[in-house]
Structure 1
Amino acid sequence: MTLLALGLNHKTAPIDIRERITFGPDIIAGALRSLTERAGVDEAAILSTCNRTEIYCAMHAPAETGVKTWLSSFHGMEGERVAPYLYAHVDQHAVRHLLQVASGLDSMVLGEPQILGQVKTSFQTACDCGTVGKLLGRLFQHTFSVAKQVRTDTAIGSSPVSVAFAAVSLARQIFSDLTNQTALLVGAGETIELAARHLRQHQLGRIIVANRTIERAHALAEQFNGFAIGLTEIAEHLPEADIVISSTASPLPILGKGTVERALKKRKHRPVFMVDIAVPRDIEPEVGELSDVYLYTVDDLQGVVDEGMRSRQQAAEQAAEIIDVHTEEFMGWLRSLDAVGLIQDYRRRAEEVRDEVLARALRQIEGGKPPADVLGYLAHTLTNKLLHIPSTRLRQAGREGNMELLQAANELLQLSEEAKTAR
């Protein structure tokens, strides 16, 4: 069985590629079923966030090329268009990659905690779709345990650095005092909630939460004494917003250039700070061309994020050591699976020999042969039959000078020095 991690992220692909290679909640179940129908793919899970899309597979045959082809064709793109941005990790490297991702070591924001929840969600989705089996099940559970240890044993998450924090930091540079500002938060996921928390910590004046599901918008707004609206009401309330942070799973932009232009006129061209964290983008890129609009995407936040990275580098090195240990631990378990079938075959052969010799011994007892003689026959015959093939193979290895096999047999059988000397 082979493990494969295939994907692209913020390091390898620009946003216009990443936003085309995404799996929204409405298509991921069908995608997983489609993927596992391909020859060679036994298990699959898909992790799709604003900064990465990754496929994790357990395969009984080499299928990396097939998975690459499937990924591009599923999104209606030519393979040559996507291939330059893809990376692929196999077996041990796939395990290490997932551990690094879940621990926040591969994120735009080093050590950010949101990714672990996203990995758990992707795993649960795959479980619900029936595309996770023994191998990926064990891998993801192992991953969750290691990520927890990294959080506990290192300071990787001690600094409040995240894309949301970076967005708020930029807002504070533009509006030095947030107490009189209004923020419109579009979406109700973890990133938006984190942004709301950071804004509240800096005494933001007012929060408006817009979401497709108004109940979720209300639930989040209540935590911060905010006001909830539906997505259709955004244009009406946009003129009130000094800060706009958007992160939804919408396949199409929510805010267009025309809507923002009309809002700016009502604001008498007071500046608006806008951050589009979504992939695909929630805000049309042309909005950035407007005067009085400061528009940033997730890629633009990289410079801000870098400033907060330095304090986490030492913790990241410690985390990498933990990951190395646990990668080898998982690979040890995976390698042990190769021996399971061999052990089962060996035991089955021994049991067949045992049953055959025992049946003969029982017939001898039924024929009136003394039990002591039958026991002697049983012990002698069983020992000879069990040792015949190994003994023959060891003698052949000796004649051929196959010292590697002889040494392996010595280690396997744990022969004593005295026994070896006696020979």
Structure 2
Amino acid sequence: MAFIALGINHKTASVDVRERVAFTPEQLVEALQLLCQRTASREAAILSTCNRSELYLEQDSLTADAVLAWLADYHQLNLDDLRACAYVHQDDAAVRHMMRVASGLDSMVLGEPQILGQMKSAYAVAREAGTLGPLLGRLFQATFSTAKQVRTDTAIGENPVSVAFAAVSLAKQIFSDLHRSQALLIGAGETISLVARHLHDQGVKRIVVANRTLERASTLAEQFGAHAILLSDIPQELANSDIVISSTASQLPILGKGAVESALKRRKHKPIFMVDIAVPRDIEPQVGELDDVYLYTVDDLHEVIEENLKSRQGAAEAAEELVAAGADDFMLRLRELAAVDVLKAYRQQGERLRDEELAKALRVLGNGGSAEEVLAQLARGLTNKLLHAPSVQLKKLSADGRVEALAVAQELFALDEGAPSNKGLQ
């Protein structure tokens, strides 16, 4: 048994690399099944967000290189380039890493709450794909439990700090009065929902939500008195937008340089503030070359986020202690669980020997044998059979010079200090 957590994140890879390693929701089930078929992974889950792509695995032995090669091949990347920005955590370290991620301790925004929901989605997809077994399943449950404890027992989640909050904070720095601004939000997921809430709280004049399906856009828009449109309507709406914030799961850019140029002409070159939170990116990088566009990616928000994290640093220390305790407790329980199968087999063996000796004793009694003699023989026979295999193995271990194993055996059988010494066997 071996746990592996392998991946890249905002600390090790640029947004350009992260978008190439990202998995779409539609890819996940097939990718998980291929991962288990083509590597030594018996169980697997994939977490893919705008800030990270990580594989969580359970294997007979540690073969991270094969998994990294599979990841490079799946996304058609150069293996050396991927290896340069990837990290690998094994066993105890992998357990602790998963718990840190779920608790928001490894996020760009310290303590951000969205990651736990994304981790739960990774768990659900792995179950759907049939790649989640008992060991990885237990690890996920322990991870959720620890993350919940971090949220409950520390102040790491207090004061709204998120990528969405950072985007709106940056907009406030550029526009002195958001009450006069109009915002176009592209997408209808959790991040855009948070953006809409923050903009609404800041009193933005008008909010428009654009999405692939009008129904989902309308559901979100209704919560904040916003307007809903389809993605195809964006070119017409763009000219009215002072703020554009996008976060979709599209594999291709939604906004190109030409569409933005046309909108700027209609706006008479009045500036547009744009934030592309998506990975892969929703807005072509070339849009940032236009004179009247202020384009930021998710990586550009890091400086804004840092300003809002000071209040969470103390809570992070307490959270780290909870994660360490959670990881230690999980590994302890896992080791205890490993002993269960051995104990079960040993008990079954003992019961089989007991039944054999008991059946023999009953036959002798049935033939008129003395009860006292039968009981004595039953006790001797059962004792001899129970001690036979351990005795043979102990002699072999001693002959092989495995003195430490003899010490373990003495502890295992709870032999007191007055028992005969094994010094003569050394």
In the superposition, the TM-score normalised over structure 2's length comes to 0.94
Distance between the aligned counterparts of 2:124 and 2:296, measured in 1?
A: 32
Q: Sequence identity, in percent?
A: 57
Distance between the aligned counterparts of 1:125 and 1:320, measured in 2?
A: 28
**Shift of residue 409, structure 1, vs aligned partner:** 3.2
Q: Partner of 1:248 in structure 2?
A: 248
**Shift of residue 351, structure 1, vs aligned partner:** 2.4
Distance between the aligned counterparts of 1:391 and 1:71, measured in 2?
A: 50
Distance between the aligned counterparts of 1:27 and 1:243, measured in 2?
A: 32
- Partner of 2:279: helix, strand, or coil? coil
The one-letter code of the counterpart of 2:189 is G
Q: Partner of 2:183 in structure 1?
A: 183
Q: Partner of 2:50 in structure 1?
A: 50
User: Structure 1 residues 39 and 246, CA, compared in 2 at 3 Å: closer, same or farther?
Assistant: closer
**Bigger shift: 398-407 or 318-327?**
398-407
Q: Partner of 2:414 in structure 1?
A: 414
Q: Does 1:14 align with 2:14?
A: yes
**Shift of residue 325, structure 1, vs aligned partner:** 0.8
Aligned residues: 422
Q: Does 1:114 align with 2:114?
A: yes
5 Å matches for 1:313-392? 313-391=313-391
Q: Partner of 1:218 in structure 2?
A: 218
**Shift of residue 365, structure 1, vs aligned partner:** 1.4
Q: Does 1:2 align with 2:21?
A: no
- Partner of 1:279: helix, strand, or coil? coil
- Partner of 1:46: helix, strand, or coil? strand
Distance between the aligned counterparts of 2:243 and 2:94, measured in 1?
A: 40
- Partner of 1:81: helix, strand, or coil? helix
The one-letter code of the counterpart of 1:37 is Q
1:184-208 per-residue CA deviation (whole Å, 9 max, x = no partner) reads: 1100111111111111111111110
Q: Partner of 2:233 in structure 1?
A: 233
Q: Partner of 1:136 in structure 2?
A: 136
Distance between the aligned counterparts of 2:135 and 2:385, measured in 1?
A: 37
Contact in 1 for aligned 2:4/2:62 (Cα 8 Å): no
Q: Partner of 2:105 in structure 1?
A: 105
5 Å matches for 1:199-218? 199-218=199-218
Contact in 1 for aligned 2:210/2:230 (Cα 8 Å): yes
Contact in 1 for aligned 2:276/2:282 (Cα 8 Å): yes
Distance between the aligned counterparts of 1:381 and 1:199, measured in 2?
A: 82
**Shift of residue 421, structure 1, vs aligned partner:** 9.7
Q: Partner of 1:66 in structure 2?
A: 66
In the superposition, the TM-score normalised over structure 1's length comes to 0.95
Unaligned runs of 5+ in 1: none
Distance between the aligned counterparts of 1:52 and 1:264, measured in 2?
A: 34
User: Structure 1 residues 422 and 77, CA, compared in 2 at 3 Å: closer, same or farther?
Assistant: closer
Distance between the aligned counterparts of 2:420 and 2:348, measured in 1?
A: 33
Distance between the aligned counterparts of 2:77 and 2:409, measured in 1?
A: 54
Unaligned runs of 5+ in 2: none
RMSD value, Cα: 2.0
**Shift of residue 373, structure 1, vs aligned partner:** 2.7
Q: Partner of 1:31 in structure 2?
A: 31
The one-letter code of the counterpart of 2:244 is V
User: Structure 1 residues 397 and 182, CA, compared in 2 at 3 Å: closer, same or farther?
Assistant: same
1:363-420 per-residue CA deviation (whole Å, 9 max, x = no partner) reads: 1112111333322221222123213443565678789996644543343233456x65
Q: Does 1:273 align with 2:273?
A: yes
Distance between the aligned counterparts of 1:394 and 1:37, measured in 2?
A: 41
User: Structure 1 residues 310 and 409, CA, compared in 2 at 3 Å: closer, same or farther?
Assistant: same
- Partner of 2:316: helix, strand, or coil? helix
Contact in 1 for aligned 2:43/2:57 (Cα 8 Å): yes
